């Protein structure tokens, strides 16, 4: 049996405790992400771990800094190492980000396909100060490297979701949305500005976790909507309450002209719609 685990700041503890009465078989546990023993105690008795944590700095302008990127990478490594050390844990589903796949130098002469084999260029992220993309890239790589160092019977899969939206969700997570949308105008122009509803993302996590017992493995890109027109970009900004992230103030809403990139989520689509066995992708090729 897998016990539900949740981490949060102390002020959220009462809200988490409510889940114990709302959902049977769920225990709310407070763990220190910097303390290996604390993580191992939290994981003890669980067969699976869903790591959905993200380090944010509410005091920062964008909510995410270069320092936060380094913290998140270290935390990801500790979580996987704790999974390896905890005998009961057999599977881990790790939430990364689509931004860990998309930020690479593009060649205007060729239309590129972005899929699970793609990794963002860390130096490019540093040059553009895309700290959220850098942090997610570093954290996911650290997770795979820690799993490779550990015992062979821990199964790891990573989910790379688009900008997460949903009824009320984006308003409660505005800091993360602002951090994600740094560089949004470039993403929009390249055809890589996409979103995913939080309920569909949760469903994808569950589907991947369940399929890990047989064939699911590697990385999975997750999105359900491509922002293709200026009107859609304006609507997204309105719903998020953060104008001028995608379109400049007063800019005419126009569709991207011949996007240079094409995004693929076929691997996740196949998993959720068929029993097709996994074809091992190059998630271990971290270069």
Annotated active-site positions, please? Answer: 136
Q: Return all residues near 277 (Cβ < 8 A) that are at least 6 apart.
A: 214, 215
Beta strands 225-226 and 218-222 are unpaired
- Name the helix (H) or strand (E) containing 79: helix 66-85
**Longest Cα separation, the chain:** 58
- Helix (DSSP H) and strand (DSSP E) numbers for the chain: 12, 9
Q: How far is CA 144 from CA 84, 117, 183, 198, 266, in A?
A: 12, 14, 26, 24, 22
241: left (phi > 0), else alpha (psi -120 to 50), else beta? Answer: left
The token duo for 11 is 């002020």
Q: How far is CA 179 from CA 33, 128, 174, 217, 242, in A?
A: 21, 13, 9, 28, 11
């Amino acid at each position: 049996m897998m016990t539900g685990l949740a981490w949060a700041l102390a002020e959220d503890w009462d809200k988490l405790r409510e889940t114990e009465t709302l959902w049977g078989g769920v225990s709310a546990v407070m763990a220190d992400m910097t303390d290996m023993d604390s993580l191992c105690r939290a994981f003890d008795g669980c067969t699976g771990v869903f790591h959905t944590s993200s380090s944010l700095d509410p005091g920062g302008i964008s909510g995410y800094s270069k320092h936060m990127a380094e913290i998140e990478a270290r935390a990801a490594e500790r979580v996987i190492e704790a999974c390896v050390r905890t005998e009961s844990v057999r599977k881990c589903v790790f939430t990364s980000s689509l931004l860990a796949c998309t930020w690479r130098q593009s060649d205007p002469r060729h239309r590129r396909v972005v899929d699970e084999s793609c990794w963002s260029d860390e130096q490019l992220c540093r040059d553009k100060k895309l700290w959220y993309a850098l942090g997610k890239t570093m954290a996911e790589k650290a997770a795979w490297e820690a799993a490779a160092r550990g015992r062979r019977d821990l199964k790891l899969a990573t989910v790379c979701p688009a900008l997460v939206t949903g009824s009320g969700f984006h308003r409660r997570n505005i800091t993360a949305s602002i951090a994600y949308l740094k560089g949004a105008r470039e993403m929009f122009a390249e055809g890589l500005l996409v979103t995913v509803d939080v309920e569909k993302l949760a469903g994808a996590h569950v589907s991947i976790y369940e399929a890990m017992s047989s064939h699911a493995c590697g990385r999975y890109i997750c999105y359900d909507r491509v922002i293709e027109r200026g009107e859609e970009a304006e609507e997204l900004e309105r719903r998020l309450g953060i104008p001028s992230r995608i379109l400049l103030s007063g800019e005419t809403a126009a569709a991207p002209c011949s996007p240079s990139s094409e995004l693929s989520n076929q691997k996740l689509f196949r998993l959720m719609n068929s029993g097709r066995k996994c074809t091992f992708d190059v998630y271990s090729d971290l270069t």
